[in-house]
Amino acid sequence: MAVPKRKKTPPKRDMRRAQHDKVTPVQVISCENCGEARLPHRACGSCGHYKGRKAAPTGSENSGS
Distance between CA atoms of residues 39 and 48, nearest Å: 12
33-48 pLDDT tens trace: 899 999 999 999 889 9
Q: At 14, which amino acid appears?
A: D
CA dihedral 9, 12, 16, 21 (to 10 degrees): 110
For 25-60, give one letter per residue: b (16+ CB within 10 A) or e.
eeeeeebebeeeebeeeebbeebbbbeeeeeeeeee
pLDDT score of 43: 92
Three-state DSSP state, 38: strand
3-60 pLDDT tens trace: 999 999 999 999 999 988 888 889 999 999 899 999 999 999 889 999 888 887 876 6
